[in-house]
Amino acid sequence: MALCCGVKGVTIEHDSLNYWFSHLTLTSEGNVMVSFLETPLAEDLPFGAQLIDYIKVQMVDMSGNLLWDNPVRVDTGDCLYYPDMYIVPFIAPDEEGGAYVCWFTSLYPPVPSSSIFVQRVKADGTLGFVDGPANVSVNEINEHWEPAICKLPGDPNFYVFWREFHYNAINLIDQIGVYGQKISPTGQRMWGEEAKAFVPLSTNWDDYWGMVARPGLENDMAVFYFRDFWEIQGQDTIHVDELFAMRINTDGDFVWEEEHILVSGYQSGKGYLDACAVVDNQWVAVWSDERASGEPYITGIYAQNIGLDGTLGPLSVPESSGSTKNEISLYPNPFHSVVTFEINHQNHGKATLSIFDAQGRLVTILVNETLPSGKQTVSWKPDSKSSGIYYYRFVSGDDINIGKLVRY
């Protein structure tokens, strides 16, 4: 394999301590556009001036050549620098050889609070929004943080989702929600001047964060986010992160009848969420999770798929799928009081048989031991469980069998 830019790569900006948080996207003309943050050195600023951040963009071709003489600055105002708050510029193609750049900032005159801005950079390095970056909301009372961006194929518009905060009279956060905006190719706000609420501001002390938005198939997108809250269980107060998804069309309407689908409700700390665009009629989300350790920052990686209809779990195989080594049959299916699994286990060794509900939550583990080779039978009698769809997963060595069972 040859490296098109050489073993040392290509320098977008020279090494220093004042360039940060690069993101890139492939343009419709086959070039790469890179966005990054620049914090000017204090010695380069006038005496006594406030330290600020710049948002800049550079274009590179596939041979590693810089296509613009200098990076293009897209923020036409100043962003105040705070060591503990990171201004990360995100970028997505505009399908005309350029890209949209999106960021949130702590100060952007004349807006006195944190807000989110979008600028369009054309293929020739000129700015698309000649009057300056577009603000996603004119609401100057609330703060707007952590944008998740989405660009749909064939749609000239640009979509942004974020956390919205409201502060009370003593400057404490008392309401949090999830909002979104549709930005036109000319920088117009298409979902109202104050954007659209998808999780309205509320005073229940729930937090919503970690938004990720990914394209769907039918002029819509899936937006994933965490809901963070504290739950009282007996004498204990438990911190819980739940993962939700919503499917939004280009008019800003919910597609699923159940507007917010619980993707993972396991009571554990979660973070670092990502997801893919829809593939094989499903999105897949992945995140870090403390469920195995129960300790902060000691995490595993978990994933869950969600179909176009909002259902979770295996798709396309209605009864069972998996390896050819171990055969599993179950009867009766559908069942009412008890279901029996018949396992033709090929290899002596450790095996697990787990049951999950339709939301992907672990219901029970029926087998977690060393099984001899040969035919085994296991029964499940879910006396206290409700009717509905469940899934089983049998793991033995490298072989995995997954299937569906229905209780009426």
The pLDDT assigned to 219 comes to: 92
**Edge-to-edge strand list for the sheet holding 300-307:** 270-275, 282-289, 300-307
Contact 275, 282 (CB under 8 A): no
In sequence order, the β-bridge partners of residue 314 are none
* 97 CB-contact burial (10 Å; exposed 0-12 / middle 13-18 / buried 19+): middle
The pLDDT assigned to 112 comes to: 47
* Total residues found in the chain within this entry: 408
Per-residue model confidence as pLDDT tens digits over 167-224:
776 767 788 999 999 999 999 999 999 999 999 998 777 889 999 999 998 899 999 9
Q: Would you give the DSSP letter of residue 42? A: G
Whole-angstrom distance, CA of residue 286 vs CA of residue 307: 15
Percent with pLDDT over 90 in the chain: 50
**All domains of the chain in start order, with CATH:** 19-307 (2.120.10.10), 320-407 (2.60.40.1930)
Strands 173-183 and 196-202: antiparallel
Task: Assess whether pLDDT exceeds 70 at residue 322.
Answer: no
* 147 CB-contact burial (10 Å; exposed 0-12 / middle 13-18 / buried 19+): buried
Question: Which tokens is 334 given?
Answer: 């559908």
Whole-angstrom distance, CA of residue 220 vs CA of residue 248: 6
Question: Which tokens is 231 given?
Answer: 């739950």
Those residues with Cβ within 8 angstroms of residue 178's Cβ, 6 or more apart along the chain or in another chain: 161, 162, 163, 164, 197, 198, 199, 208, 211, 223, 225
Averaged over 390-398, what is the pLDDT?
Answer: 85
Task: Assess whether pLDDT exceeds 60 at residue 262.
Answer: yes
Whole-angstrom distance, CA of residue 26 vs CA of residue 23: 11
Per-residue model confidence as pLDDT tens digits over 323-349:
457 888 899 988 989 999 999 888 888
If DSSP states are collapsed to H, E and C, what string results for 294-307? CCCCCCEEEEEEEE
The neighbour count for residue 291, using CB atoms within 10 Å, is 15
Contact 134, 158 (CB under 8 A): no
Per-residue model confidence as pLDDT tens digits over 83-110:
545 678 999 999 899 999 999 886 544 4
The pLDDT assigned to 261 comes to: 95
In sequence order, the β-bridge partners of residue 180 are 161, 196
The pLDDT assigned to 96 comes to: 93
Per-residue model confidence as pLDDT tens digits over 110-126:
444 688 999 999 999 99
Contact 366, 354 (CB under 8 A): yes
State phi, psi for 312 to the nearest 5 degrees.
-105, 160
- When mean pLDDT is compared across 25-29, 40-44, 185-189, 368-372, the lowest value belongs to 40-44
* 195 CB-contact burial (10 Å; exposed 0-12 / middle 13-18 / buried 19+): buried
* 379 CB-contact burial (10 Å; exposed 0-12 / middle 13-18 / buried 19+): exposed
- 0.85 surpassed by pTM: no
Q: Helix or strand or coil: residue 44?
A: helix
Whole-angstrom distance, CA of residue 215 vs CA of residue 322: 29
- C-alpha neighbours within 13 Å on the C-beta side of residue 258: 11
Nearest CA among 194, 196, 203, 78 for reference residue 142: 194
